[in-house]
């Protein structure tokens, strides 16, 4: 079994989300290859974990990696928000970890077209059983819709030029592979952009992946489900990797930290001024210089941690 992904902010996550008592239950809502879970199970012998992942292939890697921990780890195949929605009230976790990053496994081992560095079918779905492949999405979108997608989800400054180039390219032949899409992007951008620090197709691939998997649209529901399921006094940690998702996490935590959480249009306060969470990280925790150098994908990671104060439903 070859492990290719290195968990980011590992020591910081272990510190903030360490069990506060014996026999606690933790939910690793984005299990991946199981790096974070392995560290928690190894360091805290009384801890139990539920590992969740929508990708069955990568979950099989985690199953093999975590086999030695026996029944201290159990697995759920699917989206974490679905798990939280069906969770019985008497099985509330004491800790939830959400790592929003895409595993290196998907770039290096999955044949679904997450990376432009290998020529693969342009799919990008984390769960191949659901949703629309990236190639089909590209074929459907109008030039304006594609430009808006690249600008909104990729923060791509050449979104209009790339959209125009992609539409022109697909008029000759369908863009069904990673290399075909990457070549269309490269042809569309200025020469100076091609010589930049990152590949010119990086943001285009990010935007498509986010759209295909509904990453941002799912995030709000995931945060709400995790906080609702969490036991009072439990902790929720979220690791984000780009400004779009970090902004959603930051604003959600800020809203739940208010003394009054009633909607602005409410004539009177009905929440009794109960703050729902306590912020354990006023500012996000970033990787050390040593970690960023050792594991370059960690450079943009940010960890935010909160503690649940009261249940929303009382």
Stretch 127-134: mean pLDDT, rounded?
Answer: 91
Q: How much is the pLDDT for 313?
A: 52
Q: How much is the pLDDT for 272?
A: 67
Runs of H (alpha helix) within 55-201: 56-65, 80-85, 104-108, 134-140, 143-154, 159-170, 178-188, 191-194
DSSP for 241-258?
A: -SHHHHHHHHHHHHHHTS
Q: How much is the pLDDT for 108?
A: 85
Counting every residue, how long is the chain? 314
Stretch 19-26: mean pLDDT, rounded?
Answer: 96
Q: How much is the pLDDT for 3?
A: 67
- Evaluate whether 125 touches 131 at the Cβ level (below 8 Å): yes
Integer angstrom CA distances of residue 301 from 154, 156, 312:
17, 20, 29
Stretch 38-60: mean pLDDT, rounded?
Answer: 96
Q: How much is the pLDDT for 53?
A: 96
At 1, the pLDDT band (50, 70, 90 cuts) reads low
Dist. CA 232–CA 91, nearest whole Å: 12
Q: How much is the pLDDT for 100?
A: 95
Q: Is the pLDDT of residue 143 over 70?
A: yes
Q: Give 255-304 pLDDT, tens digit per residue.
A: 999 877 677 777 777 766 678 999 999 999 999 999 999 988 888 999 99
Q: Give 232-244 pLDDT, tens digit per residue.
A: 999 999 999 999 9
Q: How much is the pLDDT for 263?
A: 73
Taking the CB of residue 106, how many other CB atoms lie within 10 A of it? Answer: 22
Sign of the alpha-carbon torsion through 115, 116, 119, 123: positive
User: With a threshold of 0.75, does the pTM exceed it?
Assistant: yes
Dist. CA 239–CA 140, nearest whole Å: 32
Cβ-in-10-Å burial (0-12, 13-18, 19+) of 265 comes to exposed
Dist. CA 1–CA 63, nearest whole Å: 11
Dist. CA 98–CA 103, nearest whole Å: 13
Dist. CA 245–CA 248, nearest whole Å: 5
Q: Is the pLDDT of residue 153 over 60?
A: yes
Q: Is the pLDDT of residue 185 over 60?
A: yes
Q: Give 76-108 pLDDT, tens digit per residue.
A: 999 999 999 998 877 899 999 999 988 888 888
Q: Is the pLDDT of residue 35 over 70?
A: yes
Q: Assess if CATH 1.10.150.170 describes domain 107-213.
A: yes
Stretch 160-178: mean pLDDT, rounded?
Answer: 96
Segments making up each domain of the chain, as ranges: 10-105+217-308, 107-213
Stretch 222-231: mean pLDDT, rounded?
Answer: 96
Strand pairing class (25-28; 95-99): parallel
Q: How much is the pLDDT for 264?
A: 75
Least confidently predicted of 15-24, 31-40, 87-96, 184-193: 87-96
Q: Which CATH number fits domain 10-105+217-308: 3.90.950.20, 3.40.228.10, 3.40.50.300, 3.40.50.150?
A: 3.40.50.150
At 314, the pLDDT band (50, 70, 90 cuts) reads very low
Dist. CA 96–CA 85, nearest whole Å: 14
Domains 10-105+217-308 and 107-213 share a fold: no
Q: How much is the pLDDT for 82?
A: 94
């Amino acid at each position: 079994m070859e492990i290719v992904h290195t968990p980011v902010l590992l020591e910081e996550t272990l510190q903030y989300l360490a069990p506060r008592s014996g026999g606690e239950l933790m939910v690793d809502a984005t299990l991946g290859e199981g790096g974070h879970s392995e560290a928690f199970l190894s360091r805290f012998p009384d801890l139990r974990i539920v590992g969740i992942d929508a990708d069955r292939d990568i979950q099989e890697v985690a199953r093999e990696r975590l086999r030695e921990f026996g029944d201290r780890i159990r697995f759920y195949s699917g989206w974490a928000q679905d798990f939280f929605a069906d969770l019985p009230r008497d099985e509330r976790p004491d800790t939830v970890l959400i790592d929003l990053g895409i595993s290196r496994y998907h770039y290096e081992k999955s044949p679904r077209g997450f990376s432009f560095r290998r020529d693969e079918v342009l799919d990008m779905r984390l769960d191949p059983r659901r949703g629309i492949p990236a190639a089909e999405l590209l074929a459907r979108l109008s030039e304006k819709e594609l430009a808006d997608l690249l600008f909104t989800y990729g923060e791509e400054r050449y979104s209009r030029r790339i959209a125009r180039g992609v539409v022109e390219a697909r008029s000759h032949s369908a863009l069904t592979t990673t290399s075909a899409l990457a070549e269309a992007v490269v042809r569309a951008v200025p020469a100076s952009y091609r010589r930049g620090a990152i590949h010119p197709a990086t943001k285009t691939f990010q935007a498509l992946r986010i759209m295909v998997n509904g990453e941002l649209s799912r995030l709000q529901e995931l945060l709400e489900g995790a906080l609702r399921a969490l036991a009072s006094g439990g902790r929720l940690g979220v690791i984000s990797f780009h400004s779009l998702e970090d902004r959603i996490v930051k604003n959600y935590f800020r809203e739940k930290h208010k003394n009054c959480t009633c909607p602005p249009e409410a004539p009177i306060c009905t929440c009794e001024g109960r703050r729902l969470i306590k912020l354990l990280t006023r500012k996000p925790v970033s990787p050390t210089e040593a970690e960023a150098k050792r594991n370059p994908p960690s450079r943009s990671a940010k960890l935010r941690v909160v503690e649940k104060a009261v249940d929303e439903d009382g």
